[in-house]
Amino acid sequence: MSDLIARTLPIYGLSPDTPAALINRSENDTWAAGDLILRLHRPGYHTKPEIAAELAWLNALQDLPGLNAVRPVAGSQGFVTEIDGRFLVAFARISGQELQPGDDLARWFAPLGEITARLHLHAREWIRPPGFARLRWDLPGILGPNPNWGHWRQSQGLDRHGEAVLARATEALSARLRAYGTGPEVFGLIHADLRLANLMIDGDRLTAIDFDDCGFGWWAYDLAAALSFIETDPRLPDLIARWCEGYARITTLRPEDRAMIPSLILLRRVLLTGWLASRADSDTAAALDGPGYTAGTLDLADRYLTDGLAAFRP
């Protein structure tokens, strides 16, 4: 892919000899070159109109008070470049570093709640451009027979007993989410992947990056996504409380929304368990023990069936 990246650089005003380095392989390949971050999209995930929709929202978010988001950069083809049948987009570099599990997360989760609330307020009021299309992170998109990411039944290390536990847990999840509904008061355009790796910190500044999975989902799902891969961390109840505190400073977080947080945390965990199997070639999967992560998911599912993950209720 380095040759393809080199041939792309002049589209963004850079010399093809500009050093380019692969910095991450997840859903897509992310490269750094010059003052740009380049995202080379995985074939078969998003269409060109879907990518354009993501960037349209990002452009609309720029320079809003109290909200820092990565800035798209246009090339000679516009905001979405097509080369050799692949889609590529560029962003301005952001100073700082990704938030890490070992950081003082309690310091950052109230500001993250504020940022998330501002995203949601904007999404509620923004008039989307014609043809705006993004994935839906709803029951069919996550737990259906053909989910957006891998199915949980293909999870690494899942045996018959575990499959039975997850089947019962996802059935209970589905019933609660159907009752919760998808009306505009609970469901809309969200980031959908505000996990630690997609948050940049620089001094006191917190910036949201990587809107590649933004789509239509439950508002409170953005909290569940923020807890990705740390769902068994003992700090979770405190992080949830701080996120809710920050969110409530900006807009209303109703009791019924708070009550759904444990269900959405388990929903996200089940989604990621299936994703790890489907994206075993990603850096994230390589850094995790897939069967061990599945075992942790089964523990959470069992607790959900026992007490609804009461420890996660804010």
pLDDT tens per residue, range 117-140 = 999 999 999 999 999 999 999 999
The residues near 293 (Cβ < 8 Å, ≥ 6 apart) are 156, 229, 272, 273, 276
**Which candidate, 123, 125, 106, places its Cα nearest to that of 246?**
106
| 12-97 and 98-312 agree in CATH topology | no
Q: Which CATH class is domain 98-312?
A: alpha beta
How far is 103 from 99, CA to CA, in rounded Å?
7
Per-residue model confidence (pLDDT) at position 2: 84
The average pLDDT across 247-266 equals 97
What pTM, to 2 d.p., does this model score?
0.96
Per-residue model confidence (pLDDT) at position 158: 94
Contact between 214 and 54 (Cβ < 8 Å) = yes
Per-residue model confidence (pLDDT) at position 150: 87
What's the pLDDT tens digit per position in 289-309? Answer: 889 999 999 999 999 999 999
Contact between 214 and 198 (Cβ < 8 Å) = no
How far is 126 from 122, CA to CA, in rounded Å?
6
CA dist 282 to 70, 211, 289, Å? 22, 18, 13
User: Alpha carbon 50 to chain centroid distance?
Assistant: 16
According to CATH, the superfamily of the domain at 12-97 is Phosphorylase Kinase; domain 1 (3.30.200.20)
Domain ranges within the chain, ordered by starting residue = 12-97, 98-312
> Over the chain, what is the mean pLDDT?
95
